[in-house]
Homo-oligomer: A and B are copies of this chain.
């Protein structure tokens, strides 16, 4: 790429999260940055888009040297608004995150961070979602920052696969203990949900979703395995959800 790449930045924790600030400051070294991000936390929004109420977009003053916008939309809305309303063209690179919390395994389905990257892949824009395996608002992003730099460099230097995005997860360990990066597949695991029932001051029940993450099959070449072993992981991620191998079995249904 000869000229400076145009980089669109979004996230799902909202424009004031620490993670997006770290991401902006890191990718700024590599190109011209425009930010379109949710005005509030949109965790767990998956691939949601806004169809039942109108979208608003306004210039944010959070980053004085950066063209940044906040919206009332979801992360996927932010990507669509970024391309079709703010930039009026496709960026050279789309980055999402850095998410406060892991998005390995089937979390990719629930994650607004990754859904923004998947939306970029649908548009055939090189797109990367970054997540740090630490939910705290003031998490230490120094290891993550190093991985972001490395992955952006790799992505700009190599042919990016078409209609595929990268799901990058970084373990929550001190920078010095990071063992490197592994390209691998999504682990087969899921949330074993429970609901915590409480009563409001008026005597009515309400529920908070809680749960543990449980592996269906423990395999060695998965993101979950490598994260536990101290590696950052990159899962190339696509949007064909067809279970190709069972189509022929189903054709025999009587």
Residues from chain B with Cβ under 8 Å of A247 in the complex: 183-185, 236
Interface positions, chain A 79-109, Cβ under 8 Å from B, are: 80-81, 83-85, 106, 108-109
Chain B CB within 8 A of A190 CB: yes
Residues from chain B with Cβ under 8 Å of A195 in the complex: 55, 80-81, 84-85
Determine, out of A22-30, A140-148, A158-166, A172-180, the stretch whose residues face the partner at the interface: A158-166
> How far apart sit A85 and B154, CA to CA, in the bound complex (Å)?
46
Chain B CB within 8 A of A2 CB: no
CB distance from A120 to the nearest CB of B (A): 11
Chain A interface size, as a band, is: 35 or more
CB distance from A209 to the nearest CB of B (A): 7
Residues from chain B with Cβ under 8 Å of A154 in the complex: 253-254
Instruction: Report whether A241 and B242 are in contact in the complex, using a CB–CB cutoff of 8 Å.
Output: no
Instruction: Report whether B43 and A46 are in contact in the complex, using a CB–CB cutoff of 8 Å.
Output: no
